[in-house]
Amino acid sequence: GAGVSQSPRYKVAKRGQDVALRCDPISGHVSLFWYQQALGQGPEFLTYFQNEAQLDKSGLPSDRFFAERPEGSVSTLKIQRTQQEDSAVYLCASSLGAGTVTYEQYFGPGTRLTVT
């Protein structure tokens, strides 16, 4: 079946521009996660949705980062006024269950953001 898809795969933005990154989770998956992966590092948690509700945004690095999942399926991560330190791969993951039902997270290929 189809896995998690993300678009665009690559994005180059000039410093100060706004960007929007899209995630299409596996159909029927309740939980959706965003992670940020710097070069040579492990992914770091950004935010979590259960259906359309954003239950945890503790990992968002600044108020320039905003995520939404309005209909409980597709999610968008928006970064306003991009800075060079925002350059990273942004990963989306989805999980069938919510909370303690299941933890298996399936990742998309990521969007590589380069801020120049």
Residues that bind other proteins (CB under 8 A): 4, 31, 33, 35, 40-45, 48, 50, 55-56, 59, 91, 93, 95, 99-100, 103-110
Query: Which of 27, 58 has the CB closer to other proteins?
Result: 58
* Closest separation in Å from C-beta 9 to other proteins: 9
Angle (nearest 5°) at CA 105 between 101 and 106: 140
Please, are residues 47 and 60 in contact by the beta-carbon 8 Å criterion?
A: yes
* Closest separation in Å from C-beta 81 to other proteins: 26
Query: Which of 66, 106 has the CB closer to other proteins?
Result: 106
* Closest separation in Å from C-beta 45 to other proteins: 5
Query: Which of 88, 93 has the CB closer to other proteins?
Result: 93
